[in-house]
Amino acid sequence: MTIRAFFVCAGLAGAAITLGGCAQTESDLPPMPQIATPQPGGPATLPAYKVQVGDLLDVKLFLNPELNEEVVVRPDGMISTTLAEDIQAYNHTPAEISAALRERYRSTLTDPQISVIVHTFAPNRIYVAGEVNSPGEFITVGPNLTISQAIARAGGVKLSAAQARIFVLRRGEGDKPQALQVSYLDVISGKDPAADARLAQYDVVYVPRTGVYEAYTFWNQFVQQFVPFNWGFSYNINPVATTPSK
């Protein structure tokens, strides 16, 4: 057996195990409801919207309409108005921004009545990289994509993908990156649909390679290209020469 054939057989064996695991869970799934016009479910309540970089905000003053203006949240997360500079807006709710502006405007106005309205929203951005067919940045408007939706947008995983080791890179507090485990196999097999978590803004979904594919890549790039191994063998059967009897 050649090395290439070994890797092919190993890949087929892994695929058979994965398919077998999926087949075991299919009978446990509830039947799809027979409804003429099914409606997708949604959360009963959603968290308060927090302003993102690139959002366009309307600053309205009820008693002083001449000071109304539109401001864009800058890349540093700040906004500036005619009477207030460098107000933190990123990751704050419109109500919190209104309160901060009222505090600043009190030095100029007696009773500032200010409201902040999000005029246009910056789109949500997430990224999918690694062993998918179409890696890249994906932009959506509305709720962020889930794990399975993001991978579907990226064209699905390749045969070389280690589906059990998919993880998410996310920026936490203090802009510190952290890696989060993903139970992708539980999602696509139907074993745990709740594992299809919704991604956060700027998340990176990374799909690593399988160990078998990594070994094959190393062999192909660093060994086979430079050392012409021949793993087969051949032999010849030569007839025995006999001397005819006299």
- Mean pLDDT value across the chain: 81
- Whether residue 142 contacts residue 117, with contact meaning beta carbons closer than 8 Å, is answered with no
Which letter does DSSP use for residue 67 in this model? G
Chain region(s) in the chain for CATH 3.30.1950.10: 56-120
According to DSSP, residue 198 is labeled B
pTM score, whole prediction: 0.65
Domain 123-221 of CATH type 3.20.20.140: no
Residues of the chain with CATH 3.10.560.10: 123-221
Instruction: Decide: helix, strand or coil at residue 177.
Output: strand
Return the bridge partners of 138, or none: 126
Q: Residues 42-85: pLDDT tens digits?
A: 666 778 889 999 999 999 999 999 999 999 999 999 999 999 99
pLDDT digits (tens, 9 = 90+) for 19-41: 554 444 455 777 877 776 666 66
Looking only at the bridges linking them, the beta strands covering 136-140 and 87-88 are unpaired
Q: What is the pLDDT of residue 39?
A: 67
Q: How far apart are CA 69 and CA 92, in angstroms?
A: 19
| Fold observed for domain 56-120 | wza like fold (3.30.1950)
Res. 220 pLDDT band, cuts 50 70 90? low
